[in-house]
Amino acid sequence: MSVWIHGIGVVGGFGCGRVALEVALAAGAVAPRSLAVPTGQGMVELPAYRADTAPLDNYVPKRALRRVDGFARMALLGACLALEDGGQTPGGLQGTGLILASGQGATGSTLGLLDSFFESGDACASPIHFANSLHNAAAAHLAILLGADGPCVTLSQGRLSVLAALFTAKLWLEEGRATQVLVGCVEELSEVMGYAWLKNHGTSLVPGEGAAFFLLTRAPEGARAELCQVELGLVEESTLPTGGSFPQVYGHGPAAIGFDVAAASILLGTQGHGGIRLLVEEPGEGCGSVSFR
């Protein structure tokens, strides 16, 4: 059974919102910003596609965001943009399920918690970093602030996280567990992750962070694209053309998988494709695909 994408919400180095990504894809490239990475030889400026969450103030009161970290803010902004794109507003989303995918999780809060342990001992470790480092913390922030009372889960499966989330969302809708599902991915570039990227890739590949969210329902009316199939493990042959990624627009890394899904959904509408299929591979872990019409 097919499900339908009714709203797309993205925030990344290209800007904020579906239209911003559409414009960036049409232009073909976006200039990256930078991330200051501490090394043994001093600070190094790593080119990176950074996300700006300032527009979140238009959707959620600042007071409600006091204990929400940067990772959850990106997710919350992406979710609000997806709702807006689908003609809905945050609050009172009865029957709405929520699935958050992340290959690396809230690295800023998790590593900040460890720093507070080392600096002040376990008795004085940061309670805010602790709360935000929990696996389902960002999804809990979203469920509370958006008023979504359906099932809520966070999935982590490396580069396959987004596909696992879409697969789960499709099952929820087919089984009637939710009337609609907000599903998305979020990845952040903390200092430590920037250092790891610099050690592994240097500056030859530009990393990216951000969030990509999708509002899924079983109603085809007014949909932007049809999510017709999600495969995990063995990937069957298909007649659909294979879609690509656009690292010159949103960078490399786990966040790019979510943006690939958003880009494929946008290209279906703007270029009149009959269908697109994305292939994703996680070395040593497996592969998967997602198909749109």
pLDDT tens-digit series, residues 44-72 = 999 999 999 999 999 999 999 988 899 99
Domains of the chain: total: 1
276 and 240 Cβ atoms separated by less than 8 Å = yes
Query: Are 183 and 37 spatial neighbours (Cβ–Cβ below 8 Å)?
Result: no
CATH of the domain at 26: 3.40.47.10
For position 19, what pLDDT does the model report?
A: 96
- What CA–CA distance (Å, rounded) separates 40 from 36? 13
Report H helices in the chain: 18-27, 70-85, 107-120, 127-133, 137-146, 161-175, 191-201, 247-250, 255-270
The two structure tokens encoding residue 87: 């003609």
Dihedral through CA 153, CA 156, CA 159, CA 160, nearest 10? -60
Q: What is the dihedral of CA 175, 173, 255, 32, to 10 degrees?
A: 180
- CA dihedral angle for residue 253, residue 173, residue 179, residue 139, rounded to 10 degrees: -30
Q: What percent of the chain has pLDDT over 90?
A: 61
Burial class of residue 132 (count of CB atoms within 10 Å of its CB; 0-12, 13-18, 19+): buried
For residues 271 and 233, which has the higher predicted lDDT (pLDDT)? 233
Average pLDDT over residues 177-197: 94
* CA–CA separation, 151 and 149 (whole Å): 7
Q: Is the pLDDT reported for residue 187 higher than 90?
A: yes
With 0.85 as the threshold, say if the pTM is over it. Answer: yes
Range of the domain at 156: 3-292
